[in-house]
Structure 1
Amino acid sequence: MNQLLADNPLVTTEWLAEHINDTNLVIVDAYMANIVGKEPIVYDEFCCLPKSRKLDVELDFCDHASSQIHALPTESQFTKAVQELGINSDSIVVIYDNQGIYSSPRAWWTFKVMGVEHVYVLDGGLPKWQEEKREVVTSYQQIPSLGNAVAKPNRHLACDSDEILHVIDTDAVILDARGEMRFLGKAAEPREGVRSGHIPSSKNLPFAMLLDNTTFKNKEILNSIFQERVPSNITKVFFSCGSGITACILILAAVSIGYKNVVLYDGSWADWGSNHNLPIE
């Protein structure tokens, strides 16, 4: 099964339905209460995929001791969270969310930053699963036992404002996942005290451009979108958004079409825009 998934961070609903009873498979609902930057899908009644376990991205996968809104968790915070989900070092983890593609890429990238492999995102998430009239349930799976997965961080996969400040005057590419009006500074930021505008030399790629409603567009279209913004000689791409969540949608798309050297600006615009010592456009 690992070989089948080796080169693609995304799995289809068909694949998951076929493998849902695999013994080392862990299905994770990357729940997020606050949806920013899109019209949220609202459910009349709670439901989830069979055998799924709840991960509250904001509660369990963020460092609340940090001044950043959605800072990546520390090693110990991450290890505690994934072990409480019953995830082992040999688990195959499939993450989904109830918006299709929204918070699941952030959870996936957190696993990557923390060095846990064999983690994938369900393309289309719960909406596509339901659209295909597949089984849903009304409660999460009970965790059978604590897992043994531990953090082995790949810290080069995330950066802070110092690194971004260092690269803005180079030929590095910084892609911003926020909507165009926020990027241009023509729409107010949703967070108090954050300036309007964007990081100098960054390019706008609203995450919605990559999606057909709840799933990613096909790879040919994704390639075209990225090639318009990333010159062929560029090997390293930085990603930003409002607070580090939707930038991971761009990262997931980039990785799915072969980009290798990708970096999340963890604090993103909420960090940059609130620091008046940093330049903006």
Structure 2
Amino acid sequence: MDSLVSTEWLASELGASDLRVVDATWVIAGQGDPVADYERAHIPGAVFLDLEDVRDTASPLPMMLPPAEKFAGRMQSLGLGDGSRIVVYDNSPYKTAARAWFMFKTFGAHDVAILDGGFAKWRAEGRAVDSGRETLCHRRLTARADRKQVRTLADMKANMDSGAEQVVDARSTSRFTGEEPEPRAEIASGHIPGAHNVPIARLFDADGTYKSPEAIAQVFADAGVDVDRPIVTTCGSGVTASVLAFALHRIGKDAALYDGSWSEWGADPTTPKETGPA
């Protein structure tokens, strides 16, 4: 299974015994109710993965990766387990299927794909939907946390000195430059010094599908990023940084991700901040 699948492909595979479809829609509080939207309409057989619930609730940061055992428990209760082919989709402006994809890969589930164009494209094509909640049998998932592609605050501070990894920020240009204040009052404006800015909207065509690999590579090149050198992605809370990581994966590059992102860096009085364009 490719890491990016079309609506046509998914429609032809629905009902396969090893296929699991997952709605991973997440939005910022006050922007909607993804659970209610899922219950009103979802791709037949899809279960709802609540990204707000599947996080490290012991951390003061908003969306940190959970312990492996918590992730495994939540996925098993959804009927997602070893041997499953998992297709993740969303209906979010933040393209949150990519965050679910990154989590699955981090915890050892390798046969995972994103539905290109998400639920919006599925609905626009008039494809079948179901309502209510899907209930699948509990299935064993062996979660093996592999955090080699996850960066901590200490890693990012060390990188300031070494310059070993290019930092690429997924936030909007106005937040990156500091022209627009951060949504959380306690967090400074700006970006990590030396970072490049690739807002996620640049990675998609008008219909919400990912651009071609060639076009994705050009987006990064236009932002001054050398995709042949190591990259760590960042954003506000680690969610849209996952979109950058997935896009880089599409062009054969394995990027790391700074999980605390600007929620951590921007709130830390000891970290340097920079404003203005890259």
Output the TM-score relative to the length of structure 2. Answer: 0.91
Q: Which amino acid aligns with 1:221?
A: A
Rounded to whole Å, the distance in 2 between the matches of 1:162 and 1:220 is 34
Which deviations, in whole Å up to 9, do the C-alpha atoms of 1:183-227 show, x marking residues without a partner? 001111011200000001110000111112422112221111123
How far is 1:101 from its partner? 6.3
8 Å Cα contact 1:101/1:124 also seen in 2: no
How far is 1:232 from its partner? 5.4
Identical-pair percentage = 35
Rounded to whole Å, the distance in 2 between the matches of 1:76 and 1:33 is 25
Matches within 5 A, 1:192-271: 192-213=185-206, 214-228=208-222, 229-231=224-226, 233-234=228-229, 236-260=230-254, 262-271=255-264
Rounded to whole Å, the distance in 2 between the matches of 1:43 and 1:69 is 22
How far is 1:100 from its partner? 7.0
Rounded to whole Å, the distance in 1 between the matches of 2:250 and 2:124 is 24
Report the count of equivalent residues.
268
8 Å Cα contact 2:220/2:227 also seen in 1: no
Rounded to whole Å, the distance in 2 between the matches of 1:246 and 1:218 is 19
Q: Which amino acid aligns with 1:203?
A: H
Rounded to whole Å, the distance in 1 between the matches of 2:114 and 2:203 is 15
Partner of 2:15: 21
Higher strand proportion: 1
SS at match of 2:154: helix
Partner of 1:163: 155
Which deviations, in whole Å up to 9, do the C-alpha atoms of 1:104-125 show, x marking residues without a partner? 1001100111111101111111
Stretches of structure 2 that go unaligned for 5 or more consecutive residues are: none
Which deviations, in whole Å up to 9, do the C-alpha atoms of 1:73-100 show, x marking residues without a partner? 1111101111111112100000101237
8 Å Cα contact 1:173/1:230 also seen in 2: yes
Partner of 1:115: 108
SS at match of 2:139: coil
- The change in CA–CA distance for 1:15 and 1:117 in structure 2 (over 3 A counts) is same
- The change in CA–CA distance for 1:116 and 1:88 in structure 2 (over 3 A counts) is same
- The change in CA–CA distance for 1:108 and 1:203 in structure 2 (over 3 A counts) is same
Output the TM-score relative to the length of structure 1. Answer: 0.90
The root-mean-square deviation of aligned C-alpha atoms, in Å, is 2.1
Matched, 1:147 2:147: no
Partner of 1:98: 91
Rounded to whole Å, the distance in 2 between the matches of 1:125 and 1:140 is 19
SS at match of 1:77: helix
How far is 1:9 from its partner? 1.5
Partner of 2:266: 273
Task: Find 2:122's aligned residue among 121, 129, 138.
Answer: 129
8 Å Cα contact 1:100/1:127 also seen in 2: no
Runs of at least 4 residues of structure 1 off by over 6 A?
A: 42-45
Q: Which amino acid aligns with 1:77?
A: K
